[in-house]
């Protein structure tokens, strides 16, 4: 058994290295690569994807798993080796249903569509992006067919980002959330935004402040990078090489919340046990077959439960005022805190407040189901988007850049990803309740700018396990039950001062 396990680990380690190289090619494409490099990068990603896929679905992996099954059966369920064999078996059987050529073609199409999307978004021209999106949708429909029969073709795509969950389960959660969020939006405070939130905030100062904030939150110097990009994301090439990105604008401070959001992804990956390194049990946010609801619970926990809280701003607001005295010097803490928590109708998902954010996700979830099922043609997507947005938010989308082109996800083939953002919102509140029970003076610590106990609890109870357990098992271990929208709704009502409907 020792020889078989060593060979399996060696093979999986090489595949992990290929996947990490692939992620770095994507990171470079999004952050540093000249636009003219897109063609060569697409070919590189196609080759790496094909090689990694072929290596993983090799018959020898299956033979080794067969040899190791009796060994795994004799181990405790949560033993690293038992989990490695169980997780690898599940991934291997799933991957073998997808032809290597299709997997490689999707990787190439992702790279080729990226620059097309960037240009189309900049010019607010959906028609120039439409062929790339039609191609990607067709590829993902072919991918879904690899897993037929199914109750819903969307199930096959959702499973890549929330394994084991079905579309009907997401709908059940969203059916609870949608009317409640709509009601909170209609009955919330004024949409009017404080003028100081649109002041002049030089980008260099924002970047320096973001780096300072990330280090105070717990990102070790020399192990994290923060770089600007068109659409923020997080990735990694190892447990000690975490890449997070953000987006700056001189007339707002959303970059601080974006940095905290991506820090949540990065610190999750950073906290995975070293014993799981270079195996399928790492939790890289850019890989599939890991619960992105869990990953998004951490990005949203650090962005919102920490980053929009009054204790946080009691600590950090003086630094913000010191950095931008001309804009914020005379603005009280209370006014600023209200401003960053205001319910406000907005076009852009990543800039949305906590309450309306869920409606942005529900809009995308509904539309992409229709696209995948063939009930909505890509050519009709902008009109469908604009009509659905007006139905949810009550005003007109001014252009494609503020509407259907704002997100990179569909051009990147990430159909099935969007609902995990809102599932992550829901989970973040359930997890926060457990943290607060374990750390009674949590708010006082945050007010002092102390995050070690919070981070330590999350590492011990969540991050360290990586993919050792299924999403349902992990959620049960951490919060003691399944995803439940009610604590999240109570949290929003409390924050907005709205009486409970229960």
Neighbours of 292 (CB within 10 A): 30
pLDDT of residue 168: 97
Nearest to 216 by CA among 445, 427, 441, 462: 445
Helix H, strand E, coil C: the string for 398-452 is CCCCCCCCCCCCCCCCCCCCHHHHHHHHHHHHHHHHHHHHHCCCHHHHHHCCCCH
- Name 53's Cβ contacts closer than 8 Å, sequence gap at least 6: 95, 98, 100, 103, 104
Nearest to 137 by CA among 360, 405, 379: 379
Confidence of residue 178 (pLDDT cuts 50, 70, 90): very high
Alpha carbon distance 488, 41 (integer Å) = 42
Summarised one tens digit per residue, pLDDT across range 23-38 is: 999 999 999 999 999 9
pLDDT of residue 498: 86
442 burial (CB, 10 Å; 0-12 / 13-18 / 19+) is: buried
pLDDT of residue 290: 80
pLDDT of residue 348: 94
Positions marked active-site: 262
Q: Are 463 and 301 in contact (CB under 8 A)?
A: no
Q: Which residue has the higher pLDDT, 1 or 415?
A: 415
Name the pTM for this structure: 0.95
The rounded percent of the chain whose pLDDT value lies above 70 is 97
Compute CA distances 26 → 46, 154, 234, 492, whole Å. Answer: 12, 25, 11, 36
Summarised one tens digit per residue, pLDDT across range 479-491 is: 999 999 999 999 9
pLDDT of residue 135: 98
Summarised one tens digit per residue, pLDDT across range 201-246 is: 999 999 999 999 999 999 999 999 999 999 999 999 999 999 999 9
Q: Is the pLDDT of residue 285 over 70?
A: no
Q: Are 410 and 136 in contact (CB under 8 A)?
A: yes
Q: Which residue has the tokens 């060979």?
A: 7
The rounded percent of the chain whose pLDDT value lies above 90 is 94
Confidence of residue 396 (pLDDT cuts 50, 70, 90): very high
Nearest to 266 by CA among 307, 228, 305, 214: 214
Confidence of residue 192 (pLDDT cuts 50, 70, 90): low
pLDDT of residue 288: 59
Nearest to 69 by CA among 94, 95, 90, 55: 90
Q: Is the pLDDT of residue 1 over 90?
A: no
Alpha carbon distance 165, 291 (integer Å) = 10
CA 265, 116, 367, 254 torsion: positive or negative? positive
pLDDT of residue 501: 59
Alpha carbon distance 381, 370 (integer Å) = 10
Nearest to 355 by CA among 429, 285, 414: 429
Q: Is the pLDDT of residue 3 over 70?
A: yes
Conformational region of residue 416, where left means phi above 0, alpha means psi within -120 to 50, and beta covers everything else? left
pLDDT of residue 351: 87
What's the mean pLDDT in 326-355? 94
pLDDT of residue 24: 97
Neighbours of 429 (CB within 10 A): 23
Alpha carbon distance 279, 265 (integer Å) = 19
Nearest to 47 by CA among 15, 22, 23, 12: 22
Q: Is the pLDDT of residue 287 over 70?
A: no
Q: Is the pLDDT of residue 194 over 90?
A: no
Summarised one tens digit per residue, pLDDT across range 423-436 is: 999 999 999 999 99
Alpha carbon distance 51, 101 (integer Å) = 10
Alpha carbon distance 272, 335 (integer Å) = 39
Would you state the structure tokens that stand for residue 482, as one six-digit string? 């399944």
The H-or-E segment that residue 267 falls in is helix 254-270
Q: Which residue has the higher pLDDT, 316 or 194?
A: 316
What's the mean pLDDT in 305-330? 98
Confidence of residue 187 (pLDDT cuts 50, 70, 90): confident
| Average of per-residue pLDDT values in the chain | 95
What's the mean pLDDT in 143-165? 96
pLDDT of residue 44: 98
């Amino acid at each position: 058994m020792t020889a078989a396990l060593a060979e399996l680990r060696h093979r999986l380690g090489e595949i992990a290295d290929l996947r990490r190289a692939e992620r770095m090619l994507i990171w470079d494409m999004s952050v540093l690569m000249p636009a003219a490099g897109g063609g060569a990068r697409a070919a590189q990603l196609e080759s790496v994807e094909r090689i990694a896929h072929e290596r993983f679905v090799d018959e020898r992996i299956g033979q080794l798993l067969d040899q190791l099954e009796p060994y795994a059966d004799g181990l405790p369920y949560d033993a690293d080796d038992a989990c490695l064999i169980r997780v690898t078996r599940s991934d291997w059987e799933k991957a073998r249903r997808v032809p290597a050529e299709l997997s490689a073609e999707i990787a190439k199409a992702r790279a080729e569509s990226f620059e097309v999307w960037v240009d189309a978004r900049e010019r607010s021209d959906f028609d120039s992006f439409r062929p790339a999106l039609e191609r990607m949708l067709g590829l993902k429909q072919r991918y879904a067919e690899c897993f037929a029969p199914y109750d819903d073709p969307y199930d096959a795509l959702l499973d890549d980002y929330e394994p084991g969950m079905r579309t009907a389960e997401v709908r059940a959660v969203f059916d609870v959330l949608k009317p409640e969020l709509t009601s909170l939006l209609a009955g919330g405070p004024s949409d009017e935004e404080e003028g100081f939130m649109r002041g002049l905030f030089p980008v260099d100062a924002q970047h320096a402040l973001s780096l300072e904030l990330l280090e105070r939150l717990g990102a070790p110097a020399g192990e994290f990078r923060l770089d600007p990009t068109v659409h923020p994301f997080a990735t990694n090439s190892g447990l000690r090489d975490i890449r997070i990105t953000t987006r700056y604008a001189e007339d707002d401070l959303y970059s601080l919340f974006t940095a905290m959001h991506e820090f949540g992804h990065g610190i999750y990956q950073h906290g995975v046990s070293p014993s799981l390194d270079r195996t399928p049990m790492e939790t890289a946010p850019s890989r599939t077959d890991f619960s992105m609801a869990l990953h998004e619970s951490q990005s949203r926990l650090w962005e919102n439960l920490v980053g929009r809280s009054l204790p946080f701003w009691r600590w950090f607001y003086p630094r913000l005022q010191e950095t931008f005295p001309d804009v914020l010097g005379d603005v009280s803490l209370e006014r600023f805190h209200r401003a960053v928590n205001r319910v406000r109708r907005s076009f852009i998902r990543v800039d949305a407040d906590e309450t309306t954010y869920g409606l942005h996700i529900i809009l995308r979830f509904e539309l992409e189901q229709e696209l995948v099922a063939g009930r909505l043609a890509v050519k009709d997507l902008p009109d469908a988007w604009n009509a659905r947005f007006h139905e949810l938010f009550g005003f007109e989308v001014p252009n494609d850049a503020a509407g259907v082109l704002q997100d990179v996800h569909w051009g990147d083939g990430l159909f099935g990803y969007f609902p995990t953002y809102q599932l992550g919102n829901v989970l973040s509140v359930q997890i926060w309740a457990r943290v607060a029970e374990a750390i009674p003076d949590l708010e006082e610590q945050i007010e002092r700018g102390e995050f070690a106990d919070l981070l330590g609890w999350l590492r011990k109870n969540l991050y360290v396990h990586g993919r050792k357990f299924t999403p349902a098992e992990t959620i049960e271990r951490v919060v003691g039950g399944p995803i439940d929208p009610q604590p999240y709704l109570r949290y929003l009502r409390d924050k907005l001062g709205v009486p409970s409907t229960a």
